[in-house]
Amino acid sequence: MPFNETLRRRIRERKSMVCVGLDVDPARLPAPLRDKPDPLFRFLKGIIEATSSLVLAYKPNLAFYESLGVEGWDLLRRTLRLIPEGIIKIGDAKRGDIGSTAEKYASALFDLGFDAVTVNPYLGRDTVTPFVRDPEKGCFLLCLTSNPSSHDFQYLRAEGKCLYEHIAERAGVWNDGGNVGLVVGATHPRELSGLRRIAPDLPFLIPGIGAQGGDLEAAVMNGGDASGESVVINSSRAILYASSGADFADMAAVQTSMLRDAIAAAQEKKRAARL
């Protein structure tokens, strides 16, 4: 089954569009874990066990693991094995290269067990091709990112359109395997609406909720497809570090549940607006 179809099915089965970003930072570990053996794994295990019934996906950001060297890669492998069957695993790698290098990046990430990855399409289609070859594996293309400096390049105009609009159009063309999506920041609510018109059927991975100040309701209202779905809402720090004490896992679950409920309320508002 193509990845995008699997994603929509999982959204309905799990009744959630929440993605928890597993951006583990040793400097922010809860105090009770710091003197324990294998503290980062204990932390991630606690987070996953507390939130797995509430989420659609987990998204490890590879930079947080790569910065730890060999131990970080081992931590990533063990973390992926913790994630229960049926929950989507997104590798936030933002890879972007061509030829044999892109091939190796794709095989490395998918061989680790990721269901989808993030890719920078700046170098063109041959950057993307290795990541979309298997229709069952997803590829989220960086389109309009949540950071303030996204305006430096992504809003540059060519042939009457912004660069991010060209990316969205190309993503639709490259989606012949049914496994291409877009990364669009919640910090761009107005642009989300326009991008949904350009790419009515593509899933959107939406970061920027919480610490970056993105508007959740606007993200769901403007980014959701006709059914209010095909949206993956990511939250990282607000969930992972909801508490610095022994109750870190319980508080992560509380924050995840609140986010899931808020998304559902925004979905219902979108449906009501269409009636």
CA dihedral in degrees (231, 237, 240, 245; nearest 10)?
-150
Residue of 45, 59, 89, 94 with catalytic role: 94
pTM: 0.96
Nearest to 29 by CA among 253, 244, 251: 244
Q: How many domains does the chain have?
A: 1
Active-site residue flag, 137: no
**What would you measure as the largest C-alpha separation in the chain, in angstroms?**
58
Q: Is 195 helix (H, G, I), strand (E, B) or coil?
A: helix
**Structural domain boundaries, residue 114:** 3-274
Q: What is the pLDDT along the chain (275 residues), one digit of tens a residue?
A: 999 999 999 999 999 999 999 999 999 999 999 999 999 999 999 999 999 999 999 999 999 999 999 999 999 999 999 999 999 999 999 999 998 999 999 999 999 999 999 999 999 999 999 999 999 999 999 999 989 899 999 999 999 999 999 999 999 999 999 999 999 999 998 999 999 999 999 999 999 886 666 789 989 999 988 777 789 999 999 999 999 999 999 999 999 999 999 999 998 888 777 76
Write out the two tokens for 199. Answer: 């790419």
Going through the chain in order, the beta strands assigned E by DSSP cover 18-21, 57-59, 88-95, 116-119, 138-144, 157-158, 161-162, 180-184, 204-206, 231-235
Report the CATH number at residue 145. Answer: 3.20.20.70
